[in-house]
Structure 1
């Protein structure tokens, strides 16, 4: 029995590792395709790109792990069925349910590991990933000088170069227009026949040759002397320095991102939900005390939030009053209703935002548990399904696993959106895909334990052939 368990474990671990790495690679490529325009041409260091890719890979575990469990379980038991190893196991008196025991234990430990990963590691990975991605997307493009146009990427300067050599460092016919001193009504323009640029730390240095500099400035005393001075300086060689520190990656404080729900653990999510509920309850009490003075025709029980409608006297009392008095009463009532509506409207918008935030926090709270449950539910589908279809490799198992994973992903996406919109409760919306897939897995397990030919094409061909023959008999004349 132990040898069979070791055989099953060895047959599962290798496909699981391979499929997990393949899925992570595919998801990482999707990440690069999505943000390639935000990363290219900004002069990032290689380790910055590597860090971003590592953090993105960690955030993709929530999607890669369930798919890998489903695909590897189908491949494992499909290969065992294709090689008649499951038949040998059953002939030895071991049922399929007993043969699933070691795999159930492995998947259970994977589910526990997935929970601890989503609780402790995923919030940190999300914090690092989203903060670094935010800084990378707002980063300026790396400084480049194009020929024949004014380059305004350096703050305070406009640079035009007529021609660049193939080395990219030698420039010809330069014009540098300084915009840094415009606040003092000063202007400076530098012309040079040739220049060589190189970078030193956070500075770009251009060694100019054979040029002239024109600088125009205001007079010494602007009140009594409105004349401007013009200086012309010729030079054989001149060093022009530009500050490129703004092109370096400027990191934002990570504490600014900690308020997002993806960066919180269960304790923090519970704390946010409790504090939000307290704010909602406090707001309801304030609303009650706010609109109470306007309700002159209502009676409020002492220390109660419920409102009982009560109109004393004759209902036709207003109709008996003169028309002018009726108009005054109606105008007063309309003005008070508008005042109540304006005051309550602003507070109602705030309460709706708080309720939306609470629903979003509940979504992230339930995700901590649904990841583990999804691994178990998809394993219950993959293992018996592989034993039924009896096909290993990356052919049919990949197609079947993608179909079931798409079903899981679509249902979970619909449930998450419905919870955030307030249409469904968080418990129902987030656990609905598990509730849909688990009965399917139990049904497939029952069919696999009874050697069902659920996916036998010949069986369905015979069924439809017999069904067609029945209809033909009915069409024959009596």
Structure 2
């Protein structure tokens, strides 16, 4: 590596690391503020919050990288231009593109690393972030009883203390017990003093009450005319109540509960999800054809409502995959059963060492097989029983055959000896059309019995049912297609967020060479403007893609496609040493326009 490359790359790495940390901190603060009320004030440990912050830092890094590249490249070339180092580089015969090469190579490597992070690291971190964040949000607030205020953080109880003494002492205690699910203050406990302290590794809380009374009343279940309800009053010198603090502990949820979220999937898993959604959509469309054919049997009697070739091909492919999966599962289950059977002692697997007994067993097996093939009834392993059974079956078959033959012979004889077939008189077939009286009679029968109105009612009911079913199917298909587009967006984002680093470098480096000002003034302002534009274009493109207005591929790449022309324009102007941010540049353009206008319109002047 040449000294010039080391100089430019060294001047870029420092601002890049600094701006990346600053941008990551800003985005971290913005994301943490969304959940501030839900995760803080619950008595969690310091390392729990540090774990959540670490997950957030990694998950928002893909968004922070483009802004960090934009700001650091703008500051780097702004400083080089401000100190006339860029002028010296150009005067020595080195072009601007050659000066951009070391940082460009670094940004390409950074974009590839961002892609790997988006595809492998960020999904796993998102899984842990969702799980931990959900557990923190579901945890109850920390146990903090304040004097003079009712505290209802313990499920089923409402406690009021007028004065707190030290860490555990309490005075003038009022407790409303709602643990039985009863509405109203029917179970009230009053005490002069008490003490509350945790025990058993802070899993339970012991509340000791002294010198108090307990009032308990049974809820009335009938009207006014019933007998007075039971009322109990108990006086005690000491009463101990144990509270379970399970709601105050952080219970970690199984991470498999988030396995269907697209944010925790890499590209290969997203493709599997897309294939599954396509199968669901195809099944819904295939069922639409089947349902329509079943609702209108009259119109489909002579023809079929055949689905399109694409639906049939997809259906055949899905059915093949299902059959293959079921076979694999069945084979796996059978193999497991065979292994278990081999482990168990079985009498049929015992080897027979005596040759005579082995020959006897073979003869018995052959007899068993013959009995099964003849009678289709499982026989015993006893050879004597098998012989008797075979003899009975053969006798029964012979009797059956003889009876059938006798019946056939009697039928033939009766048929041959009879008087012959009867002569059936053929009625004349009418060829004339219906008369007017006959037509009126048929119409009167149809109208009086309501055949026509019933047919119309049935047709309307079938149409309504078909429309309602189609609407429901269409709604489900729309939901599946929307989820399909979301999966596609999550897939393409892994590429677009990485490519955005290179786009921001194309904008920031030429702008720095044009502005020729470093520091945190003008570069920060311009970087924020372009990042806001990039963020707005990204959100707009993804929203269009989610709604199905544009293709998801175009929607995710929309922001990059809009900003690439800006980068090429700034690069062209930087190579010409254009002064885009100086007033003289625009004054000169205005004068040229005025001269051209005078040349085109001399008479009017």
**TM-score if structure 1 supplies the norm length?**
0.86
Does structure 2 retain, via aligned residues, the 8 Å contact 1:174–1:194?
yes
1:438 match: 564
The structure with more radius of gyration: 2
1:280 match: 281
Q: For 1:26 and 1:182, how far apart are their aligned partners in 2?
A: 46
Q: For 2:217 and 2:589, how far apart are their aligned partners in 1?
A: 97
* Distance change in 2, residues 1:127/1:302 (3 Å): closer
Does structure 2 retain, via aligned residues, the 8 Å contact 1:418–1:429?
yes
Q: How does 1:421-432 map to 2 (within 5 A)?
A: 421-432=547-558
Correspondence 1:270 to 2:396: no
2:308 match: 305
Does structure 1 retain, via aligned residues, the 8 Å contact 2:212–2:235?
yes
The alpha carbon displacement at 1:371 in A equals 1.0
* Distance change in 2, residues 1:243/1:450 (3 Å): same
1:353 match: 479
Q: For 2:146 and 2:602, how far apart are their aligned partners in 1?
A: 82
Does structure 2 retain, via aligned residues, the 8 Å contact 1:288–1:305?
no
Q: How does 1:446-461 map to 2 (within 5 A)?
A: 446-461=572-587
Q: For 1:408 and 1:415, how far apart are their aligned partners in 2?
A: 11
Question: 1:204 aligns to what SS in structure 2?
Answer: strand
Higher mean C-alpha deviation, range 327-336 or range 100-109 = 327-336
* Uncovered stretches (5+) of structure 1, i.e. residues with no partner: 219-225, 307-320
The alpha carbon displacement at 1:472 in A equals 11
Question: 1:41 aligns to what SS in structure 2?
Answer: coil
* Distance change in 2, residues 1:12/1:214 (3 Å): same
Q: For 1:284 and 1:394, how far apart are their aligned partners in 2?
A: 58
* Distance change in 2, residues 1:202/1:454 (3 Å): same
2:234 match: 232
Deviations 1:104-160 (A, max 9, x none): 110001001000000011111111112222222232222222333433321233322
Q: For 2:143 and 2:233, how far apart are their aligned partners in 1?
A: 30
Does structure 2 retain, via aligned residues, the 8 Å contact 1:74–1:382?
yes
The alpha carbon displacement at 1:251 in A equals 2.3
Question: 1:360 aligns to what SS in structure 2?
Answer: helix
Alignment RMSD (CA, Å)? 3.2
Deviations 1:155-191 (A, max 9, x none): 23332212224x45332111234444578xx976443
The alpha carbon displacement at 1:331 in A equals 4.1
Q: For 1:181 and 1:423, how far apart are their aligned partners in 2?
A: 54
1:402 match: 528
**TM-score if structure 2 supplies the norm length?**
0.69
* Distance change in 2, residues 1:232/1:301 (3 Å): closer
1:221 match: none
Correspondence 1:115 to 2:115: yes
The alpha carbon displacement at 1:215 in A equals 6.5
The alpha carbon displacement at 1:249 in A equals 1.8
Q: How does 1:48-447 map to 2 (within 5 A)?
A: 48-165=48-165, 167=166, 169-180=168-179, 189-200=188-199, 201-209=202-210, 211-214=211-214, 230=232, 232-235=234-237, 237-293=238-294, 294=296, 296-297=298-299, 305=308, 330-447=456-573
Deviations 1:28-83 (A, max 9, x none): 22123222211232112111111111111122112111100111010001110111
Report the structure, 1 or 2, having the larger strand content: 1
Does structure 2 retain, via aligned residues, the 8 Å contact 1:188–1:213?
no
* Distance change in 2, residues 1:374/1:162 (3 Å): same
